[in-house]
């Protein structure tokens, strides 16, 4: 890439023409740290990269020069503790400049970043840190206790750094950076070298680590340029309430903003507050948003303050429908552009009001550079109008390298060169894709894709529970809410057990996956082959409401 922030689609135009003329860049060497930090620091060190806004309203800006210097210092500090190429570096922090400093430092060493959600409890953290073999974790005082509670189970975790100072076997961030060299650090990496390991939930078994290469930044850019309608434009400024631990928050907003030189607002709410979101958008003059559907629904119910000047909104995860699109157009003067992807291969379908007819209920068309189709079980592409599985063809720069230490699960994800998404859909004769249903039991709640496996394992580990199952039940705001069913051991008392089981999941796994209700049943409905009949449980949960 010859200049910082270079667009992959020079100008918006006819969708089919953009697809026909599009070519992926093929650099021999590529690093996210160069593209999102060093290239800008070299030509515009005083350009603002990140603006942190705390809950109290305090502002702190970090320039590209500061991002470069701090990440160099952190890279030297990590290297002095034996962290290097291929090592996993965990980031257990809410939205903050230090998250991005850690990303850049790890990439400069050729290490692999392991994003961790701050709502994770001890069990969820232990599994991900142990499975990945993380050597270091960057965290803060708010998350240090639960990390230290599992550190004894993680012999490979040699280094813990806290933003809030040394203590409890953690090293202090400020002291480390002050004592470290600011000299440049740069590991030579290719586009295919691993960079990020993001754990994703499935329906069976524990979460799987989706390993991505440096090229996956490039893979996200065409959709960003389209669903943000010619991104970047003068005056653009980005924000998302989605946590940067997830691929949506990280790659649908944070990293692209850094790549294009667009100021990125860092502000993570403990609980999403639509009025506070509107106030932040107005005060910080935010023009570009990635808003999950649940956030949009909540914001629609709150008054929009004078002075809001939004240019683009991207959303994904569920269909918004004509009513929501009409509200955005009528109230905000903005068309919401919907897109589709998943952790293993993100942002492959998109809509763009500036270049196509936007059809309510549709996720749009395949983004230039991405081949997407509806296939059958044998991998054959189906005719327009037929229902099948949404699939993405490899090679694809946005596509994961594979599941961490699970080659058999990686192989199951593919049929021929098609990566199976597990989502059923239809493609019409004009090339528009519509989501139909999932062919698995992943629960979509408030923008999160929740696998029942971790919830069920946590519940089943309770001494009174013999068997557990978690399902998603329709909810008008969150799309679905989690509800669970348990079979108890003989002689166990059900009275008072429900709140204890809910709290167990909340504290050990994460509040965002905790069941809304837990029902005690005498027998789990099973198929002849021994699989839980989740559809029957969903019907039972709906009837109990």
CA–CA gap between residue 36 and residue 105 (Å, rounded):
12
What would the pLDDT profile of 266-298 be if each residue is shown by its tens digit? 998 888 899 999 999 999 999 999 998 888 888
- The first and second tokens of residue 282, run together, are 């107005």
pLDDT of residue 230: 97
Helix segments in 470-533, DSSP class H: 497-508
Residue environment code for 363-380, b if the CB has 16+ CB neighbours within 10 A, otherwise e: bbbbbbbbebbbbeeeee
What is 443-544's CATH number?
3.30.300.30
Q: What secondary structure letter does DSSP report for 303?
A: P
CB of 473 within 8 A of CB of 479? no
Per the structure block, which two tokens stand in for 365?
A: 């068309």
Output the six-digit token pair for 167: 């203590």
| HSE toward the beta carbon, residue 306, CA cutoff 13 A | 0
Please compute, for residue 178, the number of CA atoms within 13 A of its CA located in the half-sphere on the CB side.
7
Cβ neighbours around 353 below 10 Å, total: 16
Classify residue 45 as exposed, middle or buried by CB count within 10 Å of its CB (0-12, 13-18, 19+).
middle
Question: Which tokens belong to 98?
Answer: 């230090």
Residues 6+ apart with CB under 8 A from 60: 51, 52, 54, 97
Helix/strand/coil percentages in the chain, nearest 5: 30, 25, 40
Which among 386, 438, 396, 442 is positioned nearest to 418, based on CA atoms?
Answer: 396
Token pair belonging to 456: 């069920």
DSSP 346-381: EEEEE--TTTS---TT--BEEPTT--EEEE-TTSPB
Q: For position 1, what pLDDT does the model report? A: 47
What is the number of alpha carbons within 13 Å of residue 309 lying toward its C-beta? 8
* pLDDT on residue 204: 61
Q: Where are the domains of the chain?
A: 28-213, 443-544
Position 440 scores a pLDDT of: 64
Q: Assign domain 28-213 to its CATH architecture.
A: 3-Layer(aba) Sandwich (3.40)
Terminal Cα distance for the chain, rounded: 55
pLDDT, position 466 = 84
> H or E stretch including 200?
strand 194-200
CB distance 151 to 160 below 8 Å: yes
Local confidence pLDDT in tens for the 545 residues of the chain: 468 999 999 999 999 999 999 999 999 999 999 999 999 999 999 999 999 999 888 999 999 999 999 999 999 999 999 999 999 999 999 999 999 999 999 999 999 999 999 999 999 999 999 999 999 999 999 999 999 999 999 999 999 999 999 987 999 999 999 999 999 999 999 999 999 999 997 656 789 999 999 999 999 999 999 999 999 999 999 999 999 999 999 999 999 999 999 999 999 888 889 999 999 999 999 999 999 888 888 898 899 999 999 999 999 977 787 888 999 999 999 999 999 999 999 999 999 998 999 998 899 999 999 999 999 999 999 999 998 999 999 999 999 999 999 999 999 999 999 999 998 899 999 999 998 766 667 788 887 878 787 898 899 889 999 888 899 999 888 889 999 999 998 899 999 999 999 999 999 999 999 999 999 999 888 765 456 788 889 888 888 76
Integer angstrom CA distances of residue 502 from 160, 449, 478: 30, 19, 18
Contact 81, 106 (CB under 8 A): no
* Closest by Cα among 441, 459, 443 to 534: 441
């Amino acid at each position: 890439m010859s200049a910082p922030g270079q667009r992959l689609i020079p100008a918006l135009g006819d969708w089919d023409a953009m697809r026909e003329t599009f070519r992926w860049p093929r650099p021999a060497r590529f690093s996210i740290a160069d593209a999102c930090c060093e290239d800008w620091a070299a030509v515009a060190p005083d350009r603002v990269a990140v603006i942190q806004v705390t809950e109290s309203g305090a502002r702190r800006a970090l320039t590209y020069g500061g991002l470069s210097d701090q990440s160099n210092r952190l890279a030297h500090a990590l290297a002095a503790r034996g962290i290097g190429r291929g090592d996993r570096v965990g980031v257990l922090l809410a939205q903050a400049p230090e998250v991005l400093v850690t990303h850049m430092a790890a990439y400069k060493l050729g290490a692999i970043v392991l994003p961790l959600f701050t709502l994770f409890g001890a069990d969820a953290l232990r599994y991900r840190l142990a499975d990945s073999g993380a050597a270091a974790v960057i965290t803060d005082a708010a998350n240090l206790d639960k990390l230290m509670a599992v550190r004894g189970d993680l012999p490979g975790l040699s280094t813990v750094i806290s933003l809030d100072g040394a203590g409890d076997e953690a090293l202090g961030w400020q002291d480390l950076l002050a004592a470290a060299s600011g000299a440049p650090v740069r590991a030579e990496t290719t586009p295919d070298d691993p960079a990020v390991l993001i754990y994703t939930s499935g329906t069976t078994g524990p979460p799987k680590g989706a390993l991505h290469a440096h090229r996956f930044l490039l893979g996200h850019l065409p959709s960003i340029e389209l669903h943000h309608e010619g991104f970047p434009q003068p005056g653009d400024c980005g924000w998302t309430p989605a946590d940067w631990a997830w691929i949506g928050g990280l790659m649908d907003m944070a990293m692209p903003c850094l790549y294009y030189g667009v100021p990125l607002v860092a502000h993570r709410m403990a609980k999403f507050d639509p009025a506070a979101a509107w106030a932040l958008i107005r005060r910080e003059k935010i023009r570009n948003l990635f808003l999950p559907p649940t956030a949009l629904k909540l914001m629609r119910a709150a008054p929009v303050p004078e002075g809001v000047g939004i240019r683009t909104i991207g959303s994904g995860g569920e269909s918004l429908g004509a009513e929501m699109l009409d509200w955005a157009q009528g109230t905000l003067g903005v068309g919401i552009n919907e897109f589709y992807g998943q952790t293993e291969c993100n942002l492959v379908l998109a809509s763009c009001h500036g270049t196509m007819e936007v059809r309510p209920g549709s996720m749009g068309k395949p983004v230039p550079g991405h081949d997407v189709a509806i296939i059958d079980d044998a991998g054959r592409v189906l005719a327009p109008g037929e229902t099948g599985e949404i699939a993405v063809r490899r090679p694809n720069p946005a596509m994961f390298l594979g599941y961490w230490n699970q080659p058999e699960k990686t192989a199951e994800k593919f049929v021929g060169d098609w990566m199976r998404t597990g989502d059923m859909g239809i493609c019409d004769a004009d090339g528009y894709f519509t989501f139909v249903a999932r062919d698995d039991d992943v629960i979509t709640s408030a923008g999160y894709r929740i696998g029942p496996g971790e919830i069920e394992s946590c519940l089943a580990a309770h001494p009174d529970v013999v068997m557990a199952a978690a399902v998603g039940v329709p909810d008008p705001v969150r799309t679905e809410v989690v509800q669970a069913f348990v079979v108890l051991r003989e002689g166990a008392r059900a009275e008072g057990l429900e709140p204890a089981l809910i709290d167990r999941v909340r504290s050990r796994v994460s509040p965002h996956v905790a069941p809304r209700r837990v029902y005690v049943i005498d027998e789990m409905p099973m198929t002849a082959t021994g699989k839980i009949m989740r559809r029957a449980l969903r019907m039972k949960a709906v009837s109990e409401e």
